[in-house]
Structure 1
Amino acid sequence: MNYFEHAPLFQLYGEQTDWPLAEMLHCETIASRSRLHHWHIRPHRHAGLYQILYLHRGQAIVSLDETRSAIQGPAAVEIPQAYVHGFEFDTDCTGYVITITNALLTRLALRLGPTAAPARHPARHPLSIGQHSNDLHEACAQLNTQYAARHPYREAQIEAWLTLLYARLRSQPGNTEHQPQTTKGLRHYTRFNELLEQAHKRHHAVAWYAQRLGLSTTHLNLLTRTHANKTPLQLIHQRLALEATRSLIYTTMTIQEISDDLGFSEPAHFTRFFRKTAGQSPRDFRLHIIHAIGS
């Protein structure tokens, strides 16, 4: 069975809608989603998202591609984008599931240095009860609290707790006995995302990315449709739109400054791009957000 072709492709399990543009992270308790599905999350995969499962208490069966193994809390599991995974939780399980966009994950890894590169294969971290597992639990709990609330400096606090959580995970040796074989297509798709993160503000054509990967544009299009259900151009525009949306929400930059920062030749071009992506002008989008926060 080719899991990459047949496993459902979700943003979050059970959802087919696009990832909210302004959010680069999603955090929830294990119970909040698993209870809706009778504690059984069937095998599926994510496009452009990295997931961390932190099991605080209880036991779960973890499926990674064609392997199944039991984990007992406290434990953590890291799942890179596009890997097929599923969970069967005992009903008394507690813990958290954190889902991170590639853009944010890349920024965290660069900030922490070369030894903090994201795992390229799923990694299991059995944790002994003690200070390290307590620290991970505190980071996850604080991250969940800040994510669910609308406290002042929410974004800064979320990123601070996520950085601490990620640093603690990277310092924990991973169990890699169940590493699935990475396909050449997945390696190319991962490299495309890395190039996109580095170069999205330069407005390169799809052919530029294909050339850097040693692929034809047709082959690159097939890869992104397989792993993300989107064309390369859609992913390029999605990354630009993400950056634009966050600048409009979380900075005081003018439309001209955002346009310049994102590599548009003039604000009118940026406005047309944003209106096509978000359904409204940058100015109207920012006013809507200000009104929503103030109400």
Structure 2
Amino acid sequence: MNQHGPGLVQDVEVEDVAGSLSVAEWDFAAARARLGAHGFVLASGGGMVRLGGATTTIEAPCVIWLPSGLAGSVRLDAGARGVAMTVSDAALGRVVPASSIAVPLRQAIDRPLLGIRIDAAAARGVIRDLEDMRREALDDLPGMREAIMSRLCLVLIAFWRMGGVAAQPQASPRVLVQGFLQLVELNARAQWRVADYARTMGISTDRLTTAIRRATGQSPLELLHGRLLQDAEGLLERSSLQVSEIADALGFRDAGYFNRFFSRLNGVSPGRYRQQVQKLRAARDKSYAAWP
């Protein structure tokens, strides 16, 4: 396989498909498929995609997208040119924007695109975005990660549009849960209400609550509170911030409300929790110091 210039930034990798003189093949066996999703934009050439026992012939300019977890292979004819990328599940979870397109975009990138034909200008535009991602990785300038993730978002939106923007009438419960959890990661400290999440996802609060409870056994509010508690415990354990400063960092309107929230969920006050952690740490350090 004649490839060059791979660029890896944590969990986003971009590489050239550079006109090999022989057939080039990517085999995404089950173990590798779980590592992330795989995308190809071909500017010239052709080949085939094997997925689930079926074979699809492809011809450039086209787009291929194999979501994470799908085992298959991509075989390109000699002379094919374009760009390939691999994106981890973690990157996909972070890159989907917290907006009204979050659910349909997440739903779209969970579906394969097997050689969707596009016009040459569209192919060049997506390839340019992918090449810019690799260039950012090589230059390693301030804001590199943000620039790469922004371009990755543009690429995924382009794939979504190429595959047909019209989303299914009802997103699956799994997609709803994934979208909600991703929005929680972005907005928990902003103290969003459950209704805010439902509105951003374009669904009713009742439907969100039903999907989350069926999938997790908890309500959306319980998951939100659990995420805030996790952040609070982390700050109490690893920072020197005052309790009032932690309350402010987590979006609570006052320290008293934060104290009541933490005590109700954890069973002890924030101050008492920090003391317990410090005592355990001191005992552990003392035990280590006693080792010969």
Give the TM-score of the pair, scaled to structure 1.
Answer: 0.50
The residue identity in structure 1 corresponding to 2:106 is A
120-129 vs 41-50, greater mean Cα deviation: 41-50
1:257 and 1:31, CA in 2 relative to 1: closer, same or farther beyond 3 A? farther
User: Which of these residues, 248, 256, 281, is aligned with residue 239 of structure 2?
Assistant: 256
CA distance in structure 2 between the partners assigned to 1:28 and 1:200 by the alignment: 30
SS of 1:61 mapped into structure 2:
strand
Q: Does 1:39 align with 2:30?
A: no
CA distance in structure 1 between the partners assigned to 2:140 and 2:88 by the alignment: 20
The residue identity in structure 1 corresponding to 2:126 is L
The residue identity in structure 2 corresponding to 1:97 is A
User: Which of these residues, 74, 81, 86, is aligned with residue 99 of structure 1?
Assistant: 86
Q: Report what 2:147 is aligned to.
A: 157
The residue identity in structure 2 corresponding to 1:157 is A
User: Which of these residues, 67, 70, 85, is aligned with residue 80 of structure 1?
Assistant: 67
User: Which of these residues, 12, 17, 33, is aligned with residue 25 of structure 1?
Assistant: 12
Deviation at 1:157, TM superposition (A): 1.7
99-108 vs 156-165, greater mean Cα deviation: 99-108
The residue identity in structure 2 corresponding to 1:164 is L
**Alignment check: 8 A CA contact 2:43 2:81 kept:** yes
1:167 and 1:88, CA in 2 relative to 1: closer, same or farther beyond 3 A? same
Q: Percent identity?
A: 14
The residue identity in structure 2 corresponding to 1:28 is E
User: Which of these residues, 159, 164, 167, is aligned with residue 169 of structure 1?
Assistant: 159
The residue identity in structure 2 corresponding to 1:126 is R
CA distance in structure 2 between the partners assigned to 1:160 and 1:200 by the alignment: 17
Deviation at 1:171, TM superposition (A): 2.0
1:266 and 1:149, CA in 2 relative to 1: closer, same or farther beyond 3 A? farther
1:267 and 1:188, CA in 2 relative to 1: closer, same or farther beyond 3 A? farther
User: Which of these residues, 41, 52, 57, is aligned with residue 65 of structure 1?
Assistant: 52
5+ long unaligned stretches in structure 1: 1-19, 176-186, 203-209, 216-239, 245-253, 273-295
Q: Does 1:111 align with 2:98?
A: yes
Deviation at 1:86, TM superposition (A): 0.3
Deviation at 1:126, TM superposition (A): 0.9
User: Which of these residues, 37, 52, 55, is aligned with residue 50 of structure 1?
Assistant: 37
CA distance in structure 2 between the partners assigned to 1:66 and 1:95 by the alignment: 25
Deviation at 1:200, TM superposition (A): 7.9
CA distance in structure 2 between the partners assigned to 1:268 and 1:154 by the alignment: 40
The residue identity in structure 1 corresponding to 2:131 is A
- For residues 1-295 of structure 1, the aligned pairs below 5 Å read 23-31=10-18, 39-45=24-30, 46-47=33-34, 49-111=36-98, 113-114=100-101, 115-119=104-108, 120-124=110-114, 125-129=116-120, 131-174=121-164, 197=182, 212-213=214-215, 256=239
Q: Report what 2:169 is aligned to.
A: none
Q: Report what 1:6 is aligned to.
A: none
SS of 1:26 mapped into structure 2:
strand
CA distance in structure 2 between the partners assigned to 1:170 and 1:138 by the alignment: 17
**Alignment check: 8 A CA contact 2:129 2:155 kept:** yes
**Alignment check: 8 A CA contact 1:116 1:167 kept:** yes
**Alignment check: 8 A CA contact 1:62 1:87 kept:** yes
Give the TM-score of the pair, scaled to structure 2.
Answer: 0.51
SS of 1:171 mapped into structure 2:
helix
The structure number with the bigger radius of gyration is 2
Number of matched pairs: 192
Deviation at 1:151, TM superposition (A): 2.9
